[in-house]
Amino acid sequence: MTAYGGDVFDAVILAGGRAERLGGVDKPGLEVGGTPMVGNVAAAAREAGRVVIVGPARAIPGAVFVREDPPGAGPVPALRAGLAEVTAPWVVLLAGDLPFLAPSHLSTLLAQTGAGRGVVAVDGEGREQWLLGVWEAAGLREALAAYEGRSLRGLLAPLVGRRVPLPRQAWFDCDTRDDLEEARNERAG
């Protein structure tokens, strides 16, 4: 990913949701393989000029921590708060609960930024994974300034230039206890 490092992209990791399906626990802070999931996501984005985490402060060296107002307001306000800290021309937008995300997955997305104002990962069934994509920061700021909705899909879909299939390890997230158990078993096995 070195070709895309430094001032070319920053990462914004959304890690402050309510995790209602997990009983309101700090989902990004849950460990898989001995590492908090948000720590794994930050490590995958290590080539970013800045790693901005929207959520509670954690022990992740070098990361900038911000909160949406009010905390827990949803992904669009969280993105707005994170984007305010972005200085690079491109922003990698990530969920904080991707236990298997790797730098190579981000390299694949970053290599596709030539078309349009955004690149979004798609899963094995062709569904967009809105919290696994790369967006032109200026275009994202323009879209946010004009957007009054609450849906991340509604905000990002008009910016997509490419949809890039990625393997399950990239987009697998832990929304439920079963997902978390599956991730822990896979990491242990």
Q: What's the predicted TM-score (pTM) here?
A: 0.93
pLDDT digits (tens, 9 = 90+) for 58-69: 999 999 999 998
**What are the boundaries of each domain within the chain?**
2-184
Q: How confident is the model at residue 1 (pLDDT cuts 50, 70, 90)?
A: very low
The predicted pLDDT at position 18 comes to 66
Q: Does domain 2-184 have CATH number 3.30.465.10?
A: no
47: tokens are: 């080539």
Residue 3's pLDDT is 45
Q: How confident is the model at residue 72 (pLDDT cuts 50, 70, 90)?
A: confident
The secondary structure of the chain as a DSSP string is -GGG-GGGEEEEEE-----GGGTT--GGGSEETTEEHHHHHHHHTTTSS-EEEESS--S-TT-EEE--SSTT--HHHHHHHHHTT--SSEEEEEES--TT--HHHHHHHHTTTTSTTEEEEE-TTS-EEEEEEEEEHHHHHHHHHH---S-HHHHHGGG-SEEEE--HHHH----SHHHHHHHHHHHH-
pLDDT (mean) for 150-176: 96
Q: What is the pLDDT of residues 121-148, one digit of tens each?
A: 999 999 999 999 999 999 999 999 999 9
Residues contacting 184, CB < 8 A, separation 6+: 32, 33
